[in-house]
Amino acid sequence: MNPMNRRTFLSLPVVSVLLPTASALIASEREANAVVPENPVAEQIDFSSNLPAPGTFPAKWICGSPSCMDNQDPPIQVHWYNEHTAFLRQNKAYSYEAPFMHLYFGNERILYIDEGFSTPRTDWPLRDVVDECIDRWCRRHGRKPEDMELLLAFSHLHVDHFAAIDQFVDRPNTRLMGLTHEEMLGFWGMTNFPEERVTLDLGGRNILIWGSPGHVISEFAYYDTYTQFLFTGDMFYRGRCYISFWDKWLDSMKRLIAFVDTHPVTHIVGCHVEMSRTGEDYPYGVTYQPDEAPWQLTVEELRHAYEFAKTVQEPGIYFTGAVFLCNQTRATTTIDKNPYAYD
């Protein structure tokens, strides 16, 4: 059978595509994992010892192709960082935003952060891929998928981070974050945003959550105590950090610095990658980033960006060496210089 690209995917009946595609997305990642019993005896997993839990990144994330319609990559890349943590990325052929998504497993429930840009399940089968990940994890650890509560949250109120949540509205034992500021705070039980820090217990695995406005008002930072990953959403990531509210963003950065001063952090990750390994700013809207920089950032890069930001006195775009700080320049993009744009 010839490799499926997006052109053929869109031309086939839905029933012949969805489930085989979802299974195929996981297969490439399975090769690196040892064979385990399909139905082992359930046991409590220890998420608090020998921290941080080790894991691996792919040598290179799938980062697009010159032709979207002839793209040969799966709609969603799935990478198991370790046994209990999976990161997903949307194929740039389906959205140039190519957001990253997080899947954290605990003994009692699962947290899934960000749901990507596309909504139709017939075009982009996120629900099927996530369910396959959950089924796989449950088979390996003696759980029933229907017994594991799934929490669907997102980093902030921009459509490329919550649009596909519609695919999960009829999923059993699933709670979905609402699409207003008040509903987002209520989902986490916050009463003093953004300073208040709450703890989500997934069943022995804790996620710390607090407000991180600046890119937008309604945004959160997430810290996983198991991997010690700090997820900073769109307010700090490897690319163009569009900052709409500079003072609030500086306050959020100050909270992040205070956090890394008192908590171990292995990696800082955001929602996107928009630059090359040499610091090239990939133009807005491109669907191909051939020499993409690593997704993860260091604590040192966060500290440097904060010190740099404290010297900024006026709107503009500033490169820190790791990220672009776009201070109140959201309307300014590089789309007119897009080398991949059609004539």
- In a structure prediction context, what are the per-residue pLDDT tens digits for the chain, which is 343 residues long? 344 454 443 443 333 233 333 333 333 344 334 444 555 678 899 999 999 999 999 999 999 999 999 999 999 999 999 999 999 999 999 999 999 999 999 999 999 999 999 878 888 999 999 999 999 999 999 999 999 999 999 999 888 888 999 999 999 999 999 999 999 999 999 999 999 999 999 999 999 999 999 999 999 999 999 999 999 999 999 999 999 999 999 999 999 999 999 999 999 999 999 999 999 999 989 999 999 999 999 999 999 999 999 999 999 999 999 999 999 886 554 433 433 333 3
Interatomic CA distance for residues 121 and 320, integer angstroms: 39
- What per-residue confidence (pLDDT) applies to 178? 93
Angle (CA) 88-151-107 rounded to 5° is 90
3-class DSSP assignment, residue 321: coil
- Neighbouring-strand partners of residue 82: 85
What is the arrangement of strands in the sheet containing 149-153, beginning at the earlier edge strand? 76-82, 85-90, 100-105, 109-113, 149-153, 174-176
- What per-residue confidence (pLDDT) applies to 61? 96
- What per-residue confidence (pLDDT) applies to 274? 96
Interatomic CA distance for residues 188 and 184, integer angstroms: 7
- What per-residue confidence (pLDDT) applies to 10? 44
Non-local CB neighbours of 228 within 8 Å, separated by 6+ positions: 51, 52, 53, 263, 264, 265, 266, 267
153: enclosing H helix or E strand: strand 149-153
- Neighbouring-strand partners of residue 76: 90
Interatomic CA distance for residues 102 and 138, integer angstroms: 17
Interatomic CA distance for residues 62 and 78, integer angstroms: 10
- What per-residue confidence (pLDDT) applies to 35? 44
